[in-house]
Amino acid sequence: MSLPKPSPITMNAHRVTAWGQQLRAVHQRLRDALDIARESVEHDEQPGSLVSNDLQLFCGGFCVALTGHHTSEDATLFPLVLEAQPNLAGTVSKLKQDHSMIAHLIRGLEAAVRSGEEKGALLRHLDGIEAVMETHFGFEERQLVGLLDTVDVDGLDKAALYGPIA
């Protein structure tokens, strides 16, 4: 008779790595990246200049970082959350819906940057992303940080859970 395979998730109130606090740290890095993208738009005075190239770099970097974060959450973090707490299915569904909305907004920003839209239009794109992102981050943190700080996940690193910006 063989023993049942243990679950990769265990509850541990004394974790060395507090995954919920890691989530908050990633969210702060994404806020910082958004600030840098916004500064690159605000200081872009000459299309086609080095500054304009910086705008593409910083806006593109922010978009890649945020998309990577949400992709990792959808693929790795959320299944672990649901394994630990199946009753959070509605929460996870709402978070995934937010990811979809943010992805749509990011595509709009990327298209606006590529087409050389004016500064005001780019800032409006960033404002829209920021508004949804902040609401999303607040909800996600309220719903998941406590749980994540007690979850012990063997064999995963923070980049697998939170994306390359982790």
- Answer for the pair 29, 62: CB distance below 8 angstroms, yes or no: no
Contact residues for 125 (Cβ-Cβ < 8 A; gap 6+): 105, 108, 109, 112
Tell which residue, 127, 131, 96, 99, has the closest CA to residue 112. 127
Domains in the chain and their CATH numbers? Answer: 18-162 (1.20.120.660)
Q: Residue count of the chain, please give it.
A: 166
Cα 98 to Cα 119: distance, rounded to the nearest angstrom? 26
3-state secondary structure of 6: coil
Tell which residue, 19, 8, 20, 128, has the closest CA to residue 66. 128
pLDDT of residue 43: 83
Handedness of CA 116, 119, 122, 124 (dihedral sign): negative
pLDDT of residue 42: 87
- 154 burial (CB, 10 Å; 0-12 / 13-18 / 19+) is exposed
Cα 146 to Cα 128: distance, rounded to the nearest angstrom? 28
Residues of the chain with pLDDT under 70: 1-17, 45-52, 153-154
pLDDT of residue 153: 67
Cα 73 to Cα 62: distance, rounded to the nearest angstrom? 17
Burial of 66-93, coded b for 16+ CB within 10 Å and e otherwise, reads bbbbbebbeebbbebbeebbeebeebbe
- pTM for this prediction: 0.85
The encoded tokens of residue 1 equal 């008779």
pLDDT of residue 115: 87
- Answer for the pair 152, 8: CB distance below 8 angstroms, yes or no: no
